[in-house]
């Protein structure tokens, strides 16, 4: 009896082994048979994780562009994010572009590309994956992105790996790093490996080497990893603590230098805005002596000109912005000439009346804009070539749009300087401003020169509005924010001196940004104003006072 029982048990054991072996053979056959996307889709809709692993291996290596509208990357990322679902009855695979899956969601068939609208949510279920498959997908995604022919794509993928590396990905990333030819990508991959070594508690020697490497990388992710490791390190590990403290101190010192460079850059960019806003006033107020309180509204007109051109060319924002420069100059210049001919020419030598009259004109222009465009602010799109950041170092990134504003400011400044110093108009402007009677006796049409000069200053204000439209919203009140700053720049630099206007605008911008971190934006502006008042008490004619006949007249 005992022997019979043993024989039966042995037969049962053999039958189980045969079943498992046959199952393994069937699975291996299934894995080997996945050579088309339709087979991979069937495997994803099934329950076997082995078949799903084979399906994902096929998806990662195959070119799906001919058979599917969904790319390999989309499909793999969709599996991670539960965006790949299957229909319970038909076992068809669908891609959900906008999760979560609800009634009314649109699904795209990964084989045919057909789209359907979900009527019953219960008909569909997300493809289930386990941790092993999840690691397989992450490895496939990382390998695919890091195998791209485009260096920029590899750099982006490599930086994304920093802090996301796990044990399953480590061997593949090390192998890719060793074969990588691009230095930036290689640096990012080495950083990812070092961050893993520091945070995951590698051997002491490897951890110290990783800390030494991260101390000179200059990436925020590296600093975060060093701080996290310092917080978790054992108190008796003196060597590691010393290495971490040294690395963190070096990073903080570098960060202070970077912060100073960023403050200088933001200050110069703000100064460029102040120069653009004040350089037109340097002509109307500095050269002609006219207190034009409508100067800010002329800036506003230039900004609205930019907005109108972008409405006319909505698909070509870059072309619209380039066309806005001459158009804003002409429109604001014509408005300025109309103001000079109708009002200003009757008030020369009467500064108080000029101030009141131009203030009234500013209110009229604001109300006109409200009536035409409505009181709401308008946004002007930034062209693609001005968008994004300029990476100087991994720790220092500069805004591209502000760099363009700075270059544009210098171009406008030198163009205006050339007009005043090297053209007949500039010669006549200087002659009339120095001695009007003598200039008229020499045949200079002083009235025409006054109109042209005021139009030139107004046109430059309009060009400033084009630049400001890229930094702030366009609205009826935008000019009021710059009128006081414009007068401060002109008075601080020296009335009538363009070089003084440039130096004053840039220095005030830097001074303002240096004060902002500890004083705040409002208090910083107040302190700048107090500084200018005290400075003028000591030097009434500004940084660069006029010399010669102009100084004698003033």
CATH of the domain at 405: 1.10.3470
Considering the domain architecture, whether residues 182 and 241 belong to the same structural domain is answered as yes
Report how far residue 385's alpha carbon sits from residue 408's, in angstroms, rounded to the nearest whole number.
14
Per-residue pLDDT band at 482 (split at 50, 70, 90): confident
Q: 349: left (phi > 0), else alpha (psi -120 to 50), else beta?
A: left
Q: Round the average pLDDT of the chain to a whole number and report it.
A: 82
**Three-state SS for 473?**
coil
The answer for 63, left when phi > 0, alpha when psi is -120 to 50, beta otherwise, is beta
Q: Are 354 and 250 in the same domain?
A: no
Q: How many CB atoms lie within 10 A of CB 372?
A: 10
DSSP per position, 65-113: TTT-SS-HHHHHHHHHTT-EEEETTT--EEEESSSS--TT-EEEETTT-
Asked whether 531 and 491 are in contact (CB, 8 A), the reply is no
Domain limit, last residue, from 102, 131, 160: 131
Q: Does residue 360 fall inside a structural domain?
A: yes
HEC per residue, 241-289 = HHHHHHHHHHHHHHHHHHHHHHHHHHHHHHHHHHHHHHHHHHHHHHHCC
And the tokens for 408? 């544009």
pLDDT at 64: 66
Is 210 contained in some domain? yes
Please tell me whether residues 160 and 216 are part of one structural domain: yes
Mean pLDDT of 272-296: 85
pLDDT-derived band at 460 (thresholds 50, 70, 90) equals very high
Q: In the listed set 81, 99, 131, which residue is the last one of a domain according to the structure?
A: 131
Q: What is the pLDDT of residue 6?
A: 53
For residue 108, give the H/E element and its range: strand 106-109
514 and 267 in contact (C-beta within 8 Å)?
yes
Instruction: Give all strands of the β-sheet with 93-96 in edge-to-edge order.
Output: 115-117, 106-109, 93-96, 84-87, 124-126
- Indicate if 218 and 313 belong to the same structural domain: no
**CB–CB of 453/287 below 8 Å?**
yes
Same-domain pairing of 90 and 178: no
Residues 272 and 316 in one domain: yes
List pLDDT tens digits, range 105-125: 888 887 777 888 888 888 888
Q: Is residue 162 part of a domain?
A: yes
Looking at residue 65, what is its pLDDT?
63
Kindly state the DSSP code that residue 547 receives in the 8-state scheme.
Answer: -
In angstroms, rounded to a whole number, what is the distance separating the alpha carbons of residues 155 and 187? 9
Give helix then strand counts, H and E, for the chain. Answer: 22, 7
386 pLDDT band, cuts 50/70/90, is: confident
The pLDDT of 492-508, averaged and rounded, is 87
pLDDT, tens digit (0-9, with 9 covering 90-100), for 215-247: 777 788 888 888 888 877 777 778 888 888 888
Residues 96, 78: Cα–Cα separation, whole Å? 8
| Mean predicted confidence (pLDDT) in 489-512 | 87
> What residue spans of 282-343 are helical by DSSP H?
295-312, 317-342
Same domain, 267 and 146: no
pTM to 2 decimal places: 0.70
For residue 354, CA distances in Å to 292, 342, 363 come to: 7, 12, 14
* Cα separation, 72 vs 66, whole angstroms: 12
Placement of tokens 């009128």 in the chain? 483
Residue 26 has pLDDT above 50, yes or no: no
- Would 115 be classed as within a structural domain? yes
- The answer to which of 216-225, 347-356, 449-458, 497-506 has the lowest mean pLDDT is 216-225
- Pair 267, 251 in one domain: no
Q: For the chain, state the CA radius of gyration.
A: 35
On whether residue 432 sits in a domain, the answer given is: no
Strand-pairing partners, residue 397, are 391
Residue 411 has pLDDT above 90, yes or no: yes
Q: Which of 521, 504, 524, 510 is nearest to 262 (CA)?
A: 510
Q: How many structural domains comprise the chain?
A: 3
Q: Please state, in angstroms and rounded to a whole number, the distance separating the CA atoms of residues 469 and 405.
A: 11
Q: Is the pLDDT score of 295 beyond 70?
A: yes
408 and 276 inside one domain: yes
Instruction: Let me know whether 330 and 409 are in one domain.
Output: yes
pLDDT in tens, 148-207: 778 888 888 888 778 777 777 788 788 888 888 888 888 888 888 888 888 776 676 777
Q: What percentage of residues in the chain have a pLDDT greater than 70?
A: 90
The pair of three-digit structure tokens given for residue 476, joined into one six-digit string: 């009826």
pLDDT value of position 67 = 62
Stretch (H or E) spanning 396: strand 396-399
- What's the average model confidence in pLDDT over 462-484? 89
Domain boundaries, position 167? 139-257
- Helix, strand, or coil (residue 93): strand
d(CA 129, CA 81): 11
Q: Check residue 433 and give its pLDDT.
A: 76
Question: CA nearest 303: which of 466, 117, 517, 516?
Answer: 466
pLDDT band at 301 (very low <50, low <70, confident <90, very high): very high
Phi-psi region of 507 (alpha: psi -120 to 50; beta: other; left: phi over 0): alpha
Residue 443 lies in a domain: no
Task: Looking at the structure, tell me whether residues 122 and 212 fall in a common domain.
Answer: no
Question: Does 37 share its domain with 84?
Answer: yes
- Give the residue from 233, 250, 249 showing the smallest Cα distance to 241: 233
Identify the pLDDT of residue 90. 72
What is the distance between the alpha carbons of residues 215 and 183, in angstroms, rounded to a whole number?
18
| Structural domain contains residue 4 | no
Domain end point (choices 96, 131, 166):
131
Copy the structure tokens of residue 332: 């604001």
What pairs with residue 108 in β-bridges?
95, 115
Where do the H-state alpha helices sit in 343-376?
351-373
| Res 8 pLDDT > 50 | no
Q: Alpha-carbon torsion 126, 127, 130, 135, what sign?
A: negative
- Model confidence at 29, pLDDT cuts 50, 70, 90, reads very low
Kindly tell me if the per-residue pLDDT of 15 is higher than 70: no
CA atoms within 13 A on the CB side of 328: 31
CA distances from 537 to 501, 529, 530, 532, 533 (A): 19, 13, 11, 9, 6
Task: Kindly state the tokens that stand for 455.
Answer: 């139009």
Residue 375 lies in a domain: yes
């Amino acid at each position: 009896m005992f022997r019979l029982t043993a024989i039966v048990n042995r037969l049962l054991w053999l039958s189980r082994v045969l079943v498992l072996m046959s199952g393994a053979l069937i699975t291996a056959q299934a894995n080997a048979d996945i050579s088309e996307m339709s087979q991979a889709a069937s495997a994803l809709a099934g329950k076997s994780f082995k078949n799903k692993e084979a399906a994902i291996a096929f998806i990662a290596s195959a070119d799906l562009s001919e058979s599917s509208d969904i790319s390999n990357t989309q499909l793999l990322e969709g599996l991670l994010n539960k965006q790949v679902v299957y229909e319970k009855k038909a076992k068809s695979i669908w891609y959900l572009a906008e999760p979560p899956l609800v009634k009314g969601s649109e699904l795209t068939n990964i084989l045919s590309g057909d789209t359907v609208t979900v009527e019953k949510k219960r008909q569909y279920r997300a493809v289930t994956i386990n941790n092993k498959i999840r690691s397989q997908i992450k490895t496939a995604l990382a390998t695919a992105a890091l195998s791209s022919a485009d260096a920029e794509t590899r750099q982006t993928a490599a930086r994304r790996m920093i802090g996301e590396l796990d044990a399953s990905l480590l061997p593949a990333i090390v192998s890719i790093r060793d074969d990588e030819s691009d230095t930036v990508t290689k640096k990012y991959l080495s950083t990812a490996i070092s961050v893993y070594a520091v945070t995951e508690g590698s051997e002491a020697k490897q951890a110290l080497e990783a800390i030494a490497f991260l101390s000179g990388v200059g990436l925020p992710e590296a600093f975060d990893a060093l701080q996290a490791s310092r917080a978790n390190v054992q108190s008796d590990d003196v060597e590691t603590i010393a290495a971490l403290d040294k690395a963190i101190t070096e990073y903080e010192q570098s960060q202070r230098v970077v912060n100073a460079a960023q403050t200088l850059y933001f200050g110069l960019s703000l100064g460029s805005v102040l120069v653009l806003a004040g350089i037109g006033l340097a002509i109307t107020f500095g050269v002609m002596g006219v207190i034009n309180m409508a100067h800010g509204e002329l800036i506003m007109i230039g900004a609205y000109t930019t907005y109108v051109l972008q409405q006319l060319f909505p698909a070509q924002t870059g072309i619209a912005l380039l066309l806005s420069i001459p158009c804003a100059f002409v429109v604001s210049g014509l408005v300025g000439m109309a103001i000079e001919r109708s009002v200003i020419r009757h008030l020369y030598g009467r500064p108080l009346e000029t101030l009141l009259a131009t203030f009234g004109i500013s209110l009229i222009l604001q109300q006109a804009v409200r009536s035409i465009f409505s009181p709401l602010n308008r946004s002007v799109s930034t062209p693609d070539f001005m968008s994004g950041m300029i990476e100087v170092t991994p720790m220092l990134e500069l805004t591209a749009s502000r760099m363009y504003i700075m270059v544009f400011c210098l171009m406008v400044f030198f163009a205006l300087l050339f007009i005043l110093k090297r053209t007949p108009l500039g010669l006549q402007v200087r002659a009339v401003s120095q001695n009007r009677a003598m200039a008229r006796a020499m045949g200079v049409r002083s009235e025409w020169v006054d109109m042209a000069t005021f139009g030139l200053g107004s046109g430059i204000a309009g060009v400033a509005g084009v630049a400001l439209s890229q930094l702030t919203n366009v609205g009826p009140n935008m000019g009021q924010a710059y009128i006081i700053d414009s007068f401060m720049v002109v008075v601080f630099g020296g009335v009538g001196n363009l070089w003084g206007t440039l130096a004053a605008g840039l220095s005030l911008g830097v001074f303002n940004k240096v004060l902002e971190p500890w004083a705040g934006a409002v208090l910083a502006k107040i302190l700048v104003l107090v500084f200018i008042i005290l400075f003028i008490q000591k030097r009434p004619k500004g940084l660069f006072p006029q010399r010669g006949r102009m100084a004698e007249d003033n």
